[in-house]
Structure 1
């Protein structure tokens, strides 16, 4: 394995972390809007949304943590390869890939939960139309 192998992941991990941060910022804005809109009286469907948002925030934090771990392990792998400790570099790169896989699987689960949030919104719209 050469030094360039782990370097190939740098742009991908960076973009992934940026996407995760954007998801977090959107959720934070949504929570602020819900708080301002609902005030003292919280409707039942909003309580469902709040539970959903809590789960999603935790998942995004987990996604970001594993993404950062992947980035750090990838950097350490490059350093190990740079100082010609190939076995350690290979192991660190493998660990980086595992951390990235965990981050992506967590992201997939968060996307699934965000679809549940849309279903709650549709349910609320359906109740208004009755």
Structure 2
């Protein structure tokens, strides 16, 4: 096995930063949609809005955990670099491995969130198709 160098965890910085930007954009989009649905619900008290809000709440929570695991991965990458700097290479390998596991968890949560998002959109499409068939 090759020795872990400072450049190895540093390479993940740009990738994790881009992922975190995407996660933050998702989070902000969900927050805006939830605020909009909240206002609509206060006007109409429609149960379908409650289902949408519940779905968005789940997606928002998943996105929060995606962010937490992604940021934790970045934190452990920085810690890895410090441990390499102080010349504890064996410990650095384990810490970096843990950072990779955290990133894997974050990405797995992203897959789950995408599946939920796609399913929610399928329900909307089905509603539109049903409305068109009834015309």
TM-score by length of 1: 0.92
Structure 2 matches for 1:62-77, cutoff 5 A? 62-77=65-80
Total equivalences in the alignment: 130
Map 1:48-67 → 2, pairs under 5 A = 48-67=51-70
Map Cα deviations across residues 99-120 of structure 1 (whole Å, 9 max, x no partner): 0000000000000000122122
Q: After superposing the two structures, state which structure 1 stretch, 39-48 or 113-122, moved more.
A: 39-48
Secondary structure at 2:43 match in 1: coil
User: CA separation in 2, counterparts of 1:17 and 1:69?
Assistant: 11
* Structure 1 spans left out of the alignment, 5+ residues: none
Write the deviation string for residues 2-48 of structure 1: whole angstroms up to 9, x where unpaired.
11111110000111111000000010111112122333323232222
Q: Which portions of structure 1, spanning 4 or more consecutive aligned residues, are displaced by more than 3 angstroms?
A: 126-129
SS at match of 2:108: helix
The answer for the alignment partner of 1:81 in structure 2 is 84
**CA apart distance, 1:127:** 4.6
Matched residue, 1:119: 122
Which aligned pairs between 1:1-130 and structure 2 lie closer than 5 A?
1-129=4-132, 130=134
CA distance in 2, matches of 1:82, 1:42: 59
RMSD of equivalent CA atoms: 1.4
TM-score for both structures, normalised by structure 2 = 0.89
Deviation at 1:88, TM superposition (A): 1.1
